């Protein structure tokens, strides 16, 4: 039996009981830790943990042992909103924005999502897989051990399927947990500019059934926003998805508040993501806690748009989650360490709140919190071992540095030079 024994940890962080699947409101500040502790993994799972004062009956020379003195052991980061499968960067648009154009102006000129779609459609599937695989390896190196990836740069039946097949290959090829989301309603493709009903019909009548039939997606997403898809269109798509077992995870309130949040909550969406622009009715809709608000501070940082009001969401009792939004247009970084720093610095989340949001709650935002997101006996042994640091708050405080010394996925130490 493959065993890994971690001993002398400064603390095990996020030792939630298995009954806790997410934390909301005031409870987000409760991040359980076990000081001066050990943890045992067997066959990819956490099988025991405890304080060094009552260590396990183990001969360290007989099993693979890591001495974590001075270091914290955390659950690997869970990143529940990414667009990591894409053909190419959009650094020319980055320079256009420095020169004064807005994200929306660039999109209106045919840049943005349609620019990415044009490049992805002509790229060979093998090449798309290789490029995406390299990006995911880079994210693992930065401590991400569970990940959601969306389609949405295909915008045709053939190319959306191509993206989802690439995500399936990533699931098969890499040791981390990956969830796939169908985002065919990311933008209206040029071919349908004068007939949006036909595109919605294509998604509802052909793409969703085929994707479900081939087992290619776990969730469905819609970009519900002025100039993209309306609330009514989002509801039609969520209904068609949920009828075939795809739970909703939707883009809402990035630039405007048009009623997407109350509608998505009523439709039973698993998460509502972005939330940079919020109205009173949006907070009210989320206070029940059934839908997870997922905040993407790297997008606000990169586009210079407002940061989501995390404090107000927490005060209203919501279970806030964090994600990178990794994509070539609005957040070209898959670094969750930076997201956790931004959450503390810009969203004014406490380090404990940000860490719960980037582990347990973000696992819940992709329906994975029974498997990952905390240091709990029975869960997957997906772990971060930090560099030596004086306190847990030092991790988000030292923004932009690499806080991680080792990453363990499914009980296996990842060779960080190799990925």
Rounded Cα–Cα distance for residues 234 and 88 (Å): 28
How far apart are CB 152 and Fe ion at their closest, in Å? 8
Interacting residues with ligand NIG between 195 and 234 (CB under 6 A): 223
Of the ranges 39-47, 196-204, 278-286, 320-328, which one interacts with ligand NIG (CB under 6 A)? 320-328
148: contact with Fe ion by CB under 5 A: no
Burial class (CB in 10 A: 0-12, 13-18, 19+), 22: buried
By beta carbon distance, the residue nearest Fe ion is: 325
Contact string 307-336 vs Fe ion (x = CB under 5 A): ------------------x-----------
Convert the chain into a string of H (helix), E (strand) and C (coil).
CCEEEEEEEEEEECCCCCCCCCCCHHHHHCCCEEEEEEEEEECCEEEEEEEHHHCCCCCCCCCEEEECCCCEEEECEEECCCCCCCCCCCHHHHHHHHCCCCHHHHHHCCCHHHHHHHHHHCCCHHHHHHHHHHHHHHHHHCCEEEEEEECCCCCCHHHHHHHHHHHHHHHHHCCCEEEEEEEEECCCCHHHCCCHHHHHHHHHHHHHHHHHHCCCCCEEEEEECCCCECHHHHHHHHHHHHHCCCEEEEEECCCCCCCHHHHHHHCCCCEEEECCCCCHHHHHHHCCCCCEEEECHHHHHHHCCCCCCHHHHHHCCCCCEECCCCECCCECCCCHHHHHHHHHHCCCCCHHHHHHHHCHHHHHCCCCCCCCCCCCCCCECCEEEECCCCCCCHHHHCCCCCCEEEEEECCEECCCCCC
Rounded Cα–Cα distance for residues 358 and 78 (Å): 6
Contact 60, 382 (CB under 8 A): no
Q: Which is nearer to ligand NIG, 236 or 251 (CB)?
A: 251
382: contact with Fe ion by CB under 5 A: no
| Residue 109: CB atoms within 10 Å | 12
How far apart are CB 60 and Fe ion at their closest, in Å? 45
Q: Which is nearer to ligand NIG, 1 or 122 (CB)?
A: 122
Q: Which is nearer to Fe ion, 84 or 361 (CB)?
A: 84
Please select the residue that binds ligand NIG; options are 82, 116, 142, 298, rule is CB under 6 A.
116
How far apart are CB 318 and ligand NIG at their closest, in Å? 20
327: contact with ligand NIG by CB under 6 A: yes
Phi and psi angles of residue 208, each rounded to the nearest 5 degrees, phi first: -60, -50
Rounded Cα–Cα distance for residues 409 and 142 (Å): 12
Interacting residues with ligand NIG between 29 and 68 (CB under 6 A): none
Of the ranges 111-119, 159-167, 260-268, 345-353, which one interacts with ligand NIG (CB under 6 A)? 111-119
Please select the residue that binds ligand NIG; options are 113, 360, 385, 404, rule is CB under 6 A.
113
221: contact with Fe ion by CB under 5 A: no
Question: Binding partner of residue 254 among Fe ion, ligand NIG, none, CB under 5 to 8 Å per kind?
Answer: ligand NIG
218: contact with Fe ion by CB under 5 A: no
Contact string 279-318 vs ligand NIG (x = CB under 6 A): --------------------x-------------------
Q: Which is nearer to ligand NIG, 34 or 339 (CB)?
A: 339
160: contact with Fe ion by CB under 5 A: no
By beta carbon distance, the residue nearest ligand NIG is: 329
Q: Which is nearer to Fe ion, 93 or 325 (CB)?
A: 325
Of the ranges 109-117, 173-181, 276-284, 344-352, which one interacts with ligand NIG (CB under 6 A)? 109-117
Contact string 328-347 vs ligand NIG (x = CB under 6 A): xxx-----------------
Q: Which is nearer to ligand NIG, 208 or 303 (CB)?
A: 303
93: contact with Fe ion by CB under 5 A: no
Rounded Cα–Cα distance for residues 160 and 181 (Å): 11
How far apart are CB 29 and Fe ion at their closest, in Å? 27
How far apart are CB 235 and ligand NIG at their closest, in Å? 18
Residues that bind ligand NIG (CB under 6 A): 83, 112-113, 116, 223, 251, 254, 299, 325, 327-330
Residues that bind Fe ion (CB under 5 A): 325
């Amino acid at each position: 039996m493959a065993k890994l024994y971690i001993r002398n940890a400064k603390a095990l962080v996020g030792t939630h009981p298995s009954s806790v699947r997410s934390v909301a409101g005031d409870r987000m500040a409760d991040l359980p830790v076990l000081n001066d502790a050990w943890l045992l993994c067997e066959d990819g799972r956490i099988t025991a943990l405890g304080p060094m004062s009552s260590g396990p009956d183990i001969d360290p020379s007989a099993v693979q042992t890591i001495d974590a003195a001075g270091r914290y052991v955390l659950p690997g980061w869970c990143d529940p909103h990414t667009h990591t499968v894409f053909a190419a960067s959009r650094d020319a648009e980055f320079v256009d924005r420095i020169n004064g154009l807005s994200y929306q102006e660039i999109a209106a000129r045919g840049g943005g999502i349609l620019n990415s779609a044009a490049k992805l459609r002509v790229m060979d599937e093998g090449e798309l897989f290789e490029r995406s695989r390299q990006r995911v390896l880079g994210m693992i190196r930065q401590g991400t051990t569970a990940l959601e990836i969306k389609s949405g740069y295909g915008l045709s039946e053939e190319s959306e399927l191509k993206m989802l097949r690439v995500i399936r290959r990533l699931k098969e090829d890499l040791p981390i947990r990956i969830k796939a989301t169908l985002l065919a309603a990311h933008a209206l493709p040029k071919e349908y500019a004068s007939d949006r009903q036909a595109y919605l019909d294509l998604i509802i009548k052909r793409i969703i059934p085929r994707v479900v039939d081939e087992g290619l997606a776990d969730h469905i997403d819609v970009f519900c926003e002025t100039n993209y898809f309306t609330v009514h269109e989002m509801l039609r798509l969520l209904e068609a998805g949920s009828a075939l077992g795809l739970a909703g995870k939707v883009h809402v309130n990035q630039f405007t508040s048009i009623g997407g949040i109350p509608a998505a909550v009523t439709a039973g969406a698993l998460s509502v993501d972005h939330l940079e622009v919020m109205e009173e009715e949006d907070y009210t809709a989320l206070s029940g806690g059934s839908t997870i608000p997922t905040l993407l501070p790297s997008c606000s940082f990169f586009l210079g748009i407002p940061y989501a009001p995390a404090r107000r969401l927490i005060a209203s009792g919501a279970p806030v989650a964090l994600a990178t939004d990794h994509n070539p247009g609005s957040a070209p970084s898959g670094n969750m360490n930076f997201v956790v720093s931004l959450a503390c610095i810009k969203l004014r989340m406490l380090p404990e709140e940000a860490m719960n949001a980037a582990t347990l709650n973000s696992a819940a935002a992709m329906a994975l919190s029974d498997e990952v997101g905390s240091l709990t006996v029975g869960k997957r042994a997906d772990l971060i071992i930090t560099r030596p640091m004086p306190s847990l708050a030092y991790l988000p405080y030292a923004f932009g540095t690499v806080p991680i010394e080792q990453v363990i996925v499914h009980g296996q130490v990842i060779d960080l030079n190799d990925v």
